Amino acid sequence: MKSRRLAAGALVCGLAVVVIAQRLAPIAGPPLYDGVPVTDPYKWLSPPSGLQGGAQSAHQTDVVADIQAGLAVGTPELPPQVQVVVDPGALALADATTSVTISIEPVGAPAVQPSDGTVAGNVYRIATVDQAGTAIGFNAGGTATLVLRGPPVLRSATIESFDGGVWTKLHTDPAGIPDIFTATVTGFGDFALVAPAGWKPAGEKAGPPAATANPTATPSSAPATPGASAVSSGPGGASGPTSTAPPATAAASAGQSAGTAALGSSGDQGTHVPSILQVALVALVVVAVVVVLRRPMRTPRE
């Protein structure tokens, strides 16, 4: 009997501690657990009003010996806004080729719009060049996988290429993650997601497009493979990819300030002085536990 009373007293005390802790420092919502994916806001090259700019590019240089198993690169966002995976043997490499640079650059949208919809997000220019800056094409039958992430909410879209003033629709599949789509390509150039006519990005505000302090793409730094020459991935560009970190946007700074303010507000609310009712509750629980523990035990009957 005594052990049961002790167990009951411990249970009551534990429940009281949980109730009092929640009253003194309430939790606004359920806690976060490991494994929750982190998604960056979509970053535009020329952001519509109310949306975030700062679209980023990517460059990667590999020596020829390292690309026999294929070549892959993606932009720095989480998840990347563009990913390219080149199949083994897809690139037509000359005998003098010692290294290959693949690049992804956001570029301004062309004046010509697709006839079957609206460009959703950025237009990206993808290119491969050798150590001398000469463009590298594909072998016959060579392919690469292109993955494009669009702005939310983009439930239906197709990947299209733009060349010579003409948009060409590619066979597109959803990637299994919202707003992300894939297609197989047999060459590089300019690509974009095309949404049905009338689509508008979520969060766009009425008014002129928001000004951006970064009218051109900011390349992300990518370490060159030892022994490889880093060259420009743009058509006919000068050697050496730019390796500058993307500037913080006003929207990101505002979001951080709002988050800090929200945390401070939550902390102020969670440390308020206990009320008389809470003190009375604690006293009542303590008295109940003492009474249970000090109650005389009954002797079993013969």
Q: What is the pLDDT of residue 272?
A: 44
Backbone φ and ψ for 38, nearest 5 degrees, come out as -105, 125
Q: What is the pLDDT of residues 227-264, one digit of tens each?
A: 333 333 333 333 333 333 333 333 333 334 333 333 34
The one-letter amino acid at 30: P
Q: What is the rounded distance in angstroms from the CA atom of residue 27 to the CA atom of residue 275?
A: 18
Q: If you write DSSP's letter for every residue of 239-293 in order, what string do you get?
A: SS----PPPPPHHHHHHHHHHHHHHHHHHHHHTPPPPHHHHHHHHHHHHHHHHHH
Question: Of 223, 232, 221, whose CA–CA distance to 128 is shortest?
Answer: 232
Q: What is the pLDDT of residue 30?
A: 58
Both tokens of 278, joined, read 């809470």
Determine contact, residues 201/41, Cβ cutoff 8 Å: no
Distance of CA 252 to the CA centre of its chain: 14
Q: What is the pLDDT along the chain (302 residues), one digit of tens a residue?
A: 566 666 666 666 666 666 666 666 666 555 555 566 678 999 999 999 889 999 999 999 999 988 877 889 999 999 999 999 999 999 999 999 999 999 999 999 999 999 999 999 999 999 999 999 999 999 999 999 999 999 998 989 999 999 999 999 999 999 988 899 999 999 999 999 999 998 998 887 765 554 444 444 444 333 333 333 333 333 333 333 333 333 333 333 333 433 333 334 334 444 444 456 666 666 777 766 666 666 665 555 54
Cβ neighbours of 232 (radius 10 Å): 19
Where are the alpha helices (H) located in the chain, listed in sequence order?
Answer: 2-24, 250-270, 276-294
Q: What is the pLDDT of residue 252?
A: 37
Q: What is the pLDDT of residues 181-225, one digit of tens each?
A: 999 999 999 999 999 998 998 887 765 554 444 444 444 333 333
Torsion of CA 121, 123, 128, 131, to 10 degrees: -100
The one-letter amino acid at 297: M
Backbone φ and ψ for 240, nearest 5 degrees, come out as 95, 105
Cβ neighbours of 233 (radius 10 Å): 28
Structural domain spans, the chain: 1-25+273-302, 56-245
The dihedral through the CA atoms of 218, 222, 223, 229 has a sign that is negative
Predicted TM-score (pTM) of this structure: 0.59
Q: What is the pLDDT of residue 250?
A: 36
Determine contact, residues 101/120, Cβ cutoff 8 Å: no
Question: Which CATH number is 56-245's, of 1.10.10.60, 3.40.1190.20, 2.60.40.1180, 2.60.220.30?
Answer: 2.60.220.30
Q: What is the pLDDT of residue 245?
A: 37
